[in-house]
Structure 1
């Protein structure tokens, strides 16, 4: 049973890494709807609204009035799974990600000509995936639901009209749920058992940035989002199948897991071309190489399962990634601005360790947006993004009873809207 348990009681952290999001690994880009419209190019060099709390906290000093921005993005992902082969049978599956809503909210209050204070609420990491119970790869992936919610109080300081800086600690809450199927030891492929893992933690990080108005028409920005160290505590519960035959169905065991979400550095430039056009370019580096393996510790496991369930290690061997974006905005008239962007984003996974929980490849995305200011103190922003990935192959458990292989092709649409109110 050791091989079975190793692949089915994967840690919560493994489930974080989903291709169904708009950034590499398990990061979520949808923290600003105005930024979404330009493909997040210029994210650290622009301060269009209060969402600069996340994009670059130094930008708060550029906002001349108190303002609040609230919004949400809806992500609709599609997955085409083909060429599936599974030693124990099952259905091909696909579209395992339900439509998901990502909320956000920010407030900025200028204090004087130099200082500004702000707060932000956003979701920097997360996913939900739900394969059905007869999915061909069910012993390697079944259902996952994870979210990181962040609250960020922030201050910024403008030295002069050229240079400003910003800093804010982040208070981050991670919650996760994972379930996987386990084959029956006596009748493999029927009457599967199930393993379900829950865990959570709260941890501290920080964001910092610098914004430079290099010329009257050119601004440069650099933002650093720190790593966050989590120690998740929860439980592992086993039910059905062989667990019932062993008299263990319904039993729970204390589980723990250490996980670091990675630091990232975003650099961008914003260039105004006259009164109507603005162009943006930016790059983001993310240190995904922190995720080399995942180890879960379970306490109180009976001797019968201790060899397979007490300590579980899963190799990941992720690598650092780069994302690049270009975008433009056109001021159609006093009330309306039109936006567009294009981005490319590397996947942190590799061809050897990729699993159906992490079926991600390199991706591209196009984005469109519009900002409408019907009255002087209210702006409504709308954005749409379409993402597509290269095809990737999964080959898990080759030569074993749990062998599963398939081809994945992923895409997603994102729809976002936000409202900014200036006091």
Structure 2
């Protein structure tokens, strides 16, 4: 029974660390405010400002002046939980994602007519969740969790001529996180706690090509590589008050988790309709099928375990995920109202990587539709201020989970979110 309790709780907690990291969850894209206004249609072909370091590094060749772009995206999400049932009693308020803000910054310097250099700092993945402590499905989800991934990307681009350019940038990615889940044993009326902390640095790259196909048509293709991580840290197990010591005692484990974030490819088109109107379209493929399962290595017990487990009880824990590859599609437009103002709007559709069998309250997401609007204001030739707003709506999805302790939880989830962005570009 002791081993069943620990294996169940630890596998849930550590699997939560990885799946919440990768899933788009309730987040919106947070790498470009100008791109957010068009729903990220044309992400690889627009090259409107220095955020092209992320969108398509080849786009730096179109920026003729040294410039800095920075911004802040904020997310206000909400979740409706209905038809909930389970073995535990509790609440289903649904406020699982606190108000979150994510910064970004980029720099591009043209060196000559062919070469350009750039830097980028942004967040490619991450999530912040905070279920109430009395949540009915607390044995299958995070009571509280925060995952941060920060990427630093030095970048170069080269223009073969005025039609074709390429760009490349290695990425240095740091992940850190803290996650907690409830631990409920059969012989105690009080919940215990499992907390995981860990971090790592992984390396990858972004590469892109940009082609001015005609005088009015520009095509971009960007590839973001996979990144391998080995998350290392510790897991602390705290039994609930009244738990018999013979059943379960507090313990601290050295924990490691190997996983690989997925590669993605974005193909975009920017079409100049006339001097004022531009049309953008794009499709993004992400290889989420890499996430078949989560395998966790628990490497021993400290003295605080009080003899709970002998070294022979160290185990490898595995949880099935079976995610699938996804496609996202976007279409958008911009209108140059006058020299100072440009107006933007976009519509995008994003598939969820989860499936109906393995979906849990950790990642209760479905396919989503996102409507976006934005504007850029240039009071001078040197400065542009961008603002954007996005509304996200997901399809209703169901979760239906059970574990080796006989605990269960099922419910219907419907997620939505409001995204707000503000940024600025200054040209030297």
Q: TM-score range by the shorter chain?
A: over 0.9
Deviation, structure 1 residue 305: 4.7
Name the CA distance, whole Å, in 1 between partners of 2:48 and 2:115: 18
Deviation, structure 1 residue 3: 4.6
Q: 1:412 aligns with which of 396, 417, 420?
A: 417
Which structure 1 residue ranges, 5 or more long, are not aligned?
Answer: 23-28
1:57 corresponds in structure 2 to 57
Does 2:215 match 1:216?
yes
1:185 corresponds in structure 2 to 186
Question: How many residues are paired up?
Answer: 415
Does 2:386 match 1:381?
yes
Name the CA distance, whole Å, in 1 between partners of 2:85 and 2:73: 35
Equivalent residues in 2 for 1:252-263, closer than 5 Å:
252-263=252-263
Task: Give yes or no for contact 1:184–1:242 (8 Å, CA) kept in 2.
Answer: no
Task: Give yes or no for contact 2:50–2:108 (8 Å, CA) kept in 1.
Answer: yes
1:396 corresponds in structure 2 to 401
1:102 corresponds in structure 2 to 102
Equivalent residues in 2 for 1:3-402, closer than 5 Å:
3-9=4-10, 10=12, 11=14, 12-16=17-21, 17=23, 19-22=25-28, 29-141=29-141, 142-187=143-188, 190-241=189-240, 245-246=244-245, 250-301=250-301, 304-305=308-309, 310-397=315-402, 401-402=406-407
SS where residue 125 of structure 2 aligns? strand
Name the CA distance, whole Å, in 2 between partners of 1:80 and 1:249: 36
Deviation, structure 1 residue 328: 0.1
SS where residue 138 of structure 2 aligns? coil
Task: Give yes or no for contact 2:293–2:322 (8 Å, CA) kept in 1.
Answer: yes
SS where residue 362 of structure 2 aligns? coil
TM-score by length of 2: 0.94
Cα 1:275–1:149, aligned 2, differ >3 Å: closer, same or farther? Answer: same
Task: Give yes or no for contact 1:162–1:214 (8 Å, CA) kept in 2.
Answer: yes
Name the CA distance, whole Å, in 2 between partners of 1:212 and 1:357: 41
Deviation, structure 1 residue 311: 2.1
Name the CA distance, whole Å, in 2 between partners of 1:8 and 1:35: 41
Q: Which stretch of the first structure deviates more once superposed, 305-314 or 47-56?
A: 305-314
Cα-Cα RMSD:
1.8
Name the CA distance, whole Å, in 1 between partners of 2:292 and 2:180: 22
Cα 1:46–1:422, aligned 2, differ >3 Å: closer, same or farther? Answer: same
